[in-house]
């Protein structure tokens, strides 16, 4: 297995996965519609402009290259927007994935690693969240990922599709060497927003809720470094011959919003202007992963376990962004 198609390889996690795969000797083809992705983030010479909605554009990619397996990141991922405009999300994330699977099967490509999310669990019934936790997503975004996971099971039974869906917790940080990093428009994620407030690019970071049942009243999340995610995708690719299923990717460590702000102040040596506000709808108090399955099945373990180290990579990027 040498030629990997990275669908959505111009995006945040996709581009870091391409960088990792290439460093490990894989040949990567990136296909992306560049709606949210960045051309500058694509580190392989083999870039193809393609859209999940346009099967012809996908077919051209599979005709041109001898693809052995697909890593599929291409999705819309704004939870709030998915609630307001579910049509956009179901067409792109679900119908688009069906299109991709059609073209894969036409070309006898039967291996896929997929970006899923802990949002497929919905409101947590216990913590840490393991893969056996019931799945009851509470927004359209989570449901699109949940449906695709279900589709994979049927496609495996019927067509022999080998699949690993990786359920990410909070992806964070940037490539250690500063070559690529996180750049969303609009930006909604906690770490880049804190760093922009510290830089003076934003007035402040608004903390969404201070009355949660947590040690300091703010929400707790499990932040996993994007390079640890990238490595897990490679390990998943290498495991597809003998495993199909869903695997959590998190560190198992919870960090509160307040702890994150304090850590960012420590890393940058600067004060972060903070405004304390109301809760954001749909935010559970605590989310962190049980990651034994990733350790056992993939032989994976996170290299970044200190939040300061994750922030340091994001800060390096924030100070010297290329895109």
Report, as residue numbers or ranges, the catalytic residues: 141
Q: Is the peptide bond before 128 cis (omega within 30 degrees of 0)?
A: yes
Binding to ligand UDP by CB under 6 A, coded x per residue (else -) over 173-202, reads ---------------xxx--x---------
**DSSP reduced 3-state for 208:** strand
Residue 158, number of CB atoms within 10 A of its CB: 9
Q: List, in sequence order, every beta strand (DSSP E) within the chain.
A: 3-7, 27-32, 47-49, 69-72, 111-117, 162-168, 170-172, 205-208, 220-221, 223-225, 245-249, 255-256, 274-277
# of chain residues touching ligand UDP (CB under 6 A): 14
- Paired sense of beta strands 220-221 and 255-256, if any: antiparallel
Output 91 or 276, the one with its CB closest to ligand UDP: 276
How far apart (Å, rounded) are the C-alpha atoms in residues 187 and 183?
A: 7
What is the number of the residue whose Cβ is closest to ligand UDP?
219
Contact 163, 104 (CB under 8 A): no
CB of 242 vs ligand UDP, minimal distance in Å: 32
Residues with Cβ within 8 Å of residue 250, at least 6 apart in sequence: 118, 128, 168, 169, 170, 222, 224, 288, 289, 291
Output 97 or 139, the one with its CB closest to ligand UDP: 139
Token output for 272: 């972060």
How far apart (Å, rounded) are the C-alpha atoms in residues 151 and 99?
A: 12
CA distances 186 to 81, 143, 192, Å, are: 11, 22, 11
Q: Which of 27, 55, 280, 321 binds ligand UDP (CB under 6 A)?
A: 280
CB of 201 vs ligand UDP, minimal distance in Å: 13
Q: Which of 120, 170, 251, 255 binds ligand UDP (CB under 6 A)?
A: 170
Footprint (CB under 6 A) of ligand UDP, residues 211-270: 219, 221, 257
CB of 14 vs ligand UDP, minimal distance in Å: 17
CB of 192 vs ligand UDP, minimal distance in Å: 8
CB of 252 vs ligand UDP, minimal distance in Å: 16
Output 90 or 208, the one with its CB closest to ligand UDP: 208
Q: Residue 208, interface with ligand UDP (CB under 6 A)?
A: yes
Token output for 72: 């599929």
Q: List the one residue out of 94, 89, 236 whose CA is nearest residue 166.
A: 236
Q: Which of 69, 174, 207, 247 binds ligand UDP (CB under 6 A)?
A: 207
CB of 209 vs ligand UDP, minimal distance in Å: 7
Output 101 or 267, the one with its CB closest to ligand UDP: 267
Q: Which stretch binds ligand UDP (CB under 6 A): 108-116, 203-211, 227-235, 295-303?
A: 203-211
Residues of this chain that interact with ligand UDP (CB under 6 A) are 170, 188-190, 193, 205-208, 219, 221, 257, 280, 283
């Amino acid at each position: 297995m040498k030629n990997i198609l990275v669908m959505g390889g111009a995006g945040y996690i996709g581009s870091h996965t391409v960088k990792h795969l290439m460093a490990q000797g894989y040949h990567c083809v990136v296909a992306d519609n560049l709606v949210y992705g960045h051309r500058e983030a694509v580190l392989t010479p083999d870039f193809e402009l393609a859209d999940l909605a346009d099967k012809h554009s996908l077919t051209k990619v599979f005709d041109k290259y001898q693809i052995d397996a697909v890593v599929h990141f291409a999705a819309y991922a704004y939870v709030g927007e998915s609630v307001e405009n579910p049509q956009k999300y179901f067409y792109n994330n679900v119908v688009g994935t069906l299109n991709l699977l059609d073209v894969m099967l036409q070309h006898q490509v039967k291996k896929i690693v997929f970006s899923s999310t802990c949002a497929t669990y919905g409101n947590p019934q216990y913590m840490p969240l393991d893969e056996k936790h019931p799945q009851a997503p509470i927004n359209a975004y989570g449901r699109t990922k949940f449906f695709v996971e279900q589709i994979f099971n049927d496609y495996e039974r019927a067509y022999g599709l080998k699949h690993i869906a990786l359920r990410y917790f909070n992806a964070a940080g940037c490539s250690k060497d500063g070559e690529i990093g996180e750049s969303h428009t609009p930006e909604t994620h906690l770490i880049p927003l804190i760093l922009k407030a510290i830089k003076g690019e934003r007035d402040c970071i608004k903390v969404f809720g201070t009355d949660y049942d947590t040690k300091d009243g703010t929400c707790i999340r499990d932040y996993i470094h994007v390079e640890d995610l990238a490595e897990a995708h490679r390990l998943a690719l290498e495991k597809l011959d003998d495993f199909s299923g869903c695997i959590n990717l998190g560190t198992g460590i919870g960090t509160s919003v307040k702890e994150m702000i304090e850590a960012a102040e420590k890393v940058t040596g600067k004060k972060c202007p903070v405004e304390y506000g109301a809760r954001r709808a749909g935010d559970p108090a605590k989310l962190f992963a049980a990651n034994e399955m990733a350790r056992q099945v993939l032989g994976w373990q996170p290299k970044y376990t200190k939040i300061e180290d994750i922030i340091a990579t994001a800060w390096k990027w924030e100070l010297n962004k290329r895109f």
